């Protein structure tokens, strides 16, 4: 017992610089019980390893995190911001779905943003957010923007990290779903979105029996205009792919800049029909020993677009498959058995593919692939005329990883980390000699993993998060639907160590990226009267003393201000049938002085951050007296920050 106390004392003191006089922890003050660390450990059933983990993650009140994680919010259609190492949740960013607290999807501005993602005239009220991608300069995160894809509806969102708010959603009817989305080219020239499930391009109709001939995938290269901070739809283009069910994707970097890599899982061209005499999809798609890694020369594709070698489908410029094959835009390399993740190494030289139904990670060599393409050394063509390189000539080697390799991230020491779904571990392996060095168990069924800046040209190492699909026995029971489990893993010790479990009960968060916190510089307040979506002072902004109600026929404009602790005007009278244009400016210029604005029965709910201006338009179609009030506990007189909307019959 005594020796445990001593060794704990030594290690704890070493880790945290704690005073450890005779094993006594400092008293917690007047009249409190003073206990030794060992007593505390005993009482809570903690081991020395547990205490080390606690010391590596515990972040006292007022201390900030070193890294920030942007995680997909899965079905919620949001993005989750998490601090590392504390694993404290810092923000849910409303993206594809309304987020009431931020008033996202309630005012005219954010309704317009959401309308950008409409398919046909249908409002979509959920998303399957998969892969967030931070903007990059020279292949490194620059902390300016974040993009994320919605697999279910083939949409991409742009989030400005100036205020951590969604500014734009785009979609194209060219494709019906995506999965390799979003990822960015090294200078964020393009945000790439790739089809998952093939459909006839542009939403046309063709029966599934015509799958081979009429169904297609595509990679959409959304042009990002950095000055405007928006995707430029007109400058975007797409490349048509065979209906091989493209999976994950990654952009080349450094030596492989100008290229992008896409996995596929269905070179069998299965299309289901298990009640029509066909094999079920999952076995139909798993017959071949090899699928195709799609190697795309996107700089070449840009040239073809400039040269007019495209067709316009559903408003999108599309390089047709035959053109892509002939002009060297698209080349295939066989890859083992229904792979999943494809990840380019920090130097851009290797492309690591997770086998999923194969026990290997396959390491393709970009320089070999490039040389083979230049020499036109093909071993054949696929049925669509796309040239195929020989597998053995294109790889540097394979690493025997274990069961179910999926995704790979990198550190600053030349190591790679691959998630193994079936084995439910993270495998650490050496890029140099392709040998496994260590494995750590995760709980359970890990999907993606994210290391600190682990997919950039300069990874940091240090921390990794295992993003686990199943939680089983990790948390208190909450009924049959369990949270997902993010496990923080220490990469600085010789053996990887799990430090912390964070349950995420919001949707299945697929992927995340982890950025050094000091690369982010968000604003604290908006300029007086700023419309955050336009990024400028609103023409409807209201200043103190200029509050008023103006009527033009049945159109009523309300110019209102909010400041602790009142709205001006606090009574607004309109007539049944009027259209009301409500303009509210928060006059506060103090950090964190947010007011809410809600009107009963009319589903009006705004969040006005300091300086922010917001507009909402509605029809006064119900007579009565409707309380309106501030929904943020903004001051001692918050409850008094209220008024009435009077709709006269």
Interface positions, 358-387, toward ligand RUQ (CB under 6 A): none
Phi, psi of 269, rounded to the nearest 5 degrees: 60, 35
C-beta of 160: minimal distance to ligand RUQ in Å? 24
What's the angle, vertex CA 258, arms to CA 460 and CA 391, rounded to 5? Answer: 90
Strands (E) in 185-324, as ranges, are 190-194, 217-225, 230-241, 246-251, 259-264, 290-297, 311-313, 316-319
Residue 350 near residue 363 (C-beta atoms within 8 A): yes
634 binds, among ligand CUA, ligand RUQ, none (CB under 5 to 8 A by kind): ligand CUA
595 binds, among ligand CUA, ligand RUQ, none (CB under 5 to 8 A by kind): ligand CUA
Residue 145 near residue 159 (C-beta atoms within 8 A): yes
Interface positions, 269-288, toward ligand CUA (CB under 6 A): none
Residue 462 near residue 492 (C-beta atoms within 8 A): yes
Interface positions, 191-250, toward ligand RUQ (CB under 6 A): 248
Buried b (16+ CB within 10 A) or exposed e, 341-374: bbbbbbbbbbbbbbbbbbbbbbbbbbebbbebbe
223, 342, 355, 394, 597 from 335: Cα distances, Å = 29, 11, 8, 10, 55
Residue 155 in the binding site for ligand RUQ (CB under 6 A): no
> What radius of gyration, in Å, describes the C-alpha atoms of the chain?
28
C-beta of 277: minimal distance to ligand RUQ in Å? 29
Q: Can you tell me the distance from the alpha carbon of 388 to that of 189, in angstroms, rounded to the nearest whole number?
A: 28
C-beta of 600: minimal distance to ligand CUA in Å? 16
By beta-carbon proximity to ligand CUA, the closer residue of 217 and 643 is: 643
Q: Can you tell me the distance from the alpha carbon of 90 to that of 8, in angstroms, rounded to the nearest whole number?
A: 33
Q: Binder to ligand CUA among 130, 167, 317, 595 (CB under 6 A)?
A: 595
Instruction: Identify which of 558, 506, 614 has the alpha carbon closest to the alpha carbon of residue 165.
Output: 614
Interface positions, 606-645, toward ligand CUA (CB under 6 A): 630, 632-634, 638, 641
By beta-carbon proximity to ligand CUA, the closer residue of 579 and 635 is: 635
Residue 130 in the binding site for ligand RUQ (CB under 6 A): yes
Residue 434 in the binding site for ligand CUA (CB under 6 A): no
By beta-carbon proximity to ligand RUQ, the closer residue of 193 and 612 is: 193
By beta-carbon proximity to ligand RUQ, the closer residue of 446 and 563 is: 446
Residue 389 in the binding site for ligand CUA (CB under 6 A): no
Residue 630 near residue 641 (C-beta atoms within 8 A): yes
What's the angle, vertex CA 576, arms to CA 572 and CA 582, rounded to 5? Answer: 40
406 binds, among ligand CUA, ligand RUQ, none (CB under 5 to 8 A by kind): ligand RUQ
130 binds, among ligand RUQ, ligand CUA, none (CB under 5 to 8 A by kind): ligand RUQ
Residue 447 in the binding site for ligand RUQ (CB under 6 A): yes
Instruction: Identify which of 543, 571, 577, 567 has the alpha carbon closest to the alpha carbon of residue 634.
Output: 567
Note the Cα 42 to chain centre separation in Å.
Answer: 41
Residue 202 near residue 187 (C-beta atoms within 8 A): no
What residues contact residue 73 under an 8 Å CB cut-off, 6+ apart?
A: 79, 80, 92, 95, 129, 506, 507, 509
C-beta of 633: minimal distance to ligand CUA in Å? 6
C-beta of 569: minimal distance to ligand RUQ in Å? 50
C-beta of 80: minimal distance to ligand RUQ in Å? 15
What residues contact residue 496 under an 8 Å CB cut-off, 6+ apart?
A: 426, 428, 438, 439, 440, 464, 489, 490
448 binds, among ligand RUQ, ligand CUA, none (CB under 5 to 8 A by kind): ligand RUQ
Tell me the two tokens of residue 313: 């489908």
Q: Binder to ligand RUQ among 253, 462, 510, 581 (CB under 6 A)?
A: 510
C-beta of 233: minimal distance to ligand RUQ in Å? 25
C-beta of 340: minimal distance to ligand RUQ in Å? 6
By beta-carbon proximity to ligand RUQ, the closer residue of 339 and 348 is: 339
Instruction: Identify which of 36, 107, 245 has the alpha carbon closest to the alpha carbon of residue 533.
Output: 107
Interface positions, 328-347, toward ligand RUQ (CB under 6 A): 340
By beta-carbon proximity to ligand RUQ, the closer residue of 56 and 179 is: 179
Residues lying near ligand RUQ in the complex (CB under 6 A) are found at: 130-131, 179, 248, 340, 406-407, 447-448, 510-511
Q: Which residues bind ligand CUA (CB under 6 A)?
A: 595, 630, 632-634, 638, 641
């Amino acid at each position: 017992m005594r020796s445990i106390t001593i060794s704990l004392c030594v290690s704890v003191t070493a880790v945290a610089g704690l005073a450890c006089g005779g094993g006594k922890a400092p008293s917690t003050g007047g009249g409190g019980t003073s206990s030794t660390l060992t007593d505390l450990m005993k009482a809570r059933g903690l081991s020395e390893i547990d205490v080390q983990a606690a010391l590596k993650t515990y972040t006292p009140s007022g201390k900030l995190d070193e890294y920030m994680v942007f995680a997909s919010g899965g079905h919620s259609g949001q993005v989750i911001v998490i601090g590392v190492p504390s694993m404290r949740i810092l923000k849910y960013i409303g993206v594809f779905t309304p987020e009431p607290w931020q008033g996202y999807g309630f005012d005219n501005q954010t309704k317009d943003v959401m309308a950008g993602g409409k398919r046909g005239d249908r409002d979509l009220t959920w998303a399957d957010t998969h892969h967030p991608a931070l903007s990059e300069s020279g292949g490194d995160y620059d902390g300016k923007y974040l993009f994320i894809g919605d697999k279910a509806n083939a949409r991409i969102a742009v989030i400005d990290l100036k205020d951590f708010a969604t500014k734009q959603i785009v979609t194209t009817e060219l494709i019906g779903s995506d999965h390799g989305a979003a990822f960015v080219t090294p200078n964020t020239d393009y945000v790439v979105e790739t089809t998952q499930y093939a459909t006839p391009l542009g939403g046309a109709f063709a029966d599934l029996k015509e799958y081979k001939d009429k169904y297609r995938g595509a990679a959409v290269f959304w042009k990002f205009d950095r000055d405007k901070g928006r995707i430029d739809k007109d400058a975007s283009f797409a490349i048509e792919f065979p209906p091989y069910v493209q999976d994950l994707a990654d952009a080349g970097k450094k030596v492989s800049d100008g290229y992008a890599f896409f996995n596929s899982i269905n070179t069998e061209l299965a299309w289901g029909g298990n009640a029509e005499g066909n094999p079920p999809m999952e076995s139909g798609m798993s017959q071949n020993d090899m699928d195709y890694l799609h190697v795309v020369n996107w700089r070449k594709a840009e040239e073809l677009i400039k040269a007019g070698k495209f067709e316009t489908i559903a408003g999108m410029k599309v390089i047709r498959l035959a053109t892509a094959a002939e002009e060297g835009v698209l080349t295939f390399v066989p890859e083992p058995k229904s792979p999943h993740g494809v990840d380019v190494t920090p130097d851009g030289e290797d492309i690591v593919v997770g086998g999923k139904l194969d026990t290997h990670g396959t390491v393709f060599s970009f320089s070999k692939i490039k040389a083979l393409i230049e020499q036109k050394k093909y071993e054949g063509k696929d049925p669509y005329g796309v040239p195929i390189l020989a597998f053995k000539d294109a790889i540097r080697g394979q690493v025997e990883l274990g069961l179910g390799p999926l995704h790979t991230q990198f550190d600053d020491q030349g190591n790679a980390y691959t998630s193994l779904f079936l084995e439910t571990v993270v495998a650490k392996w050496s890029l140099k000699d392709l040998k496994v060095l260590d494995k750590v168990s995760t709980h359970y069924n890990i999907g993606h993993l994210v290391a600190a800046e682990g997919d950039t040209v300069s990874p940091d190492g240090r921390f990794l998060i295992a993003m686990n699909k199943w939680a089983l026995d990790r948390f208190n029971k909450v009924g049959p639907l369990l949270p997902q489990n993010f496990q923080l893993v220490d990469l600085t010790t010789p053996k990887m160590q799990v430090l912390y479990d964070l349950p995420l009960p919001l949707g299945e968060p697929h992927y995340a990226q982890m950025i050094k916190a000091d690369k982010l510089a968000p604003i604290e307040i908006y300029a007086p009267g700023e419309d955050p979506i336009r990024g400028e002072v609103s023409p409807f902004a209201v200043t103190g003393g200029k509050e008023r109600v103006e009527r033009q026929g049945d159109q009523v404009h309300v110019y209102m201000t909010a400041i602790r602790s009142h709205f001006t005007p606090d009574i607004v009278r309109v007539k049944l049938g009027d259209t009301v244009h409500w303009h509210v400016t928060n006059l506060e210029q103090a950090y964190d002085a947010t007011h809410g604005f809600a009107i009963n029965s009319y589903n009006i709910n705004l969040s006005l951050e300091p300086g922010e201006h917001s507009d909402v338009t509605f029809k006064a179609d119900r007579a009565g007296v409707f309380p309106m009030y501030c929904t943020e506990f903004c001051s001692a007189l918050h409850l008094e920050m209220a008024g009435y909307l009077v709709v006269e019959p």
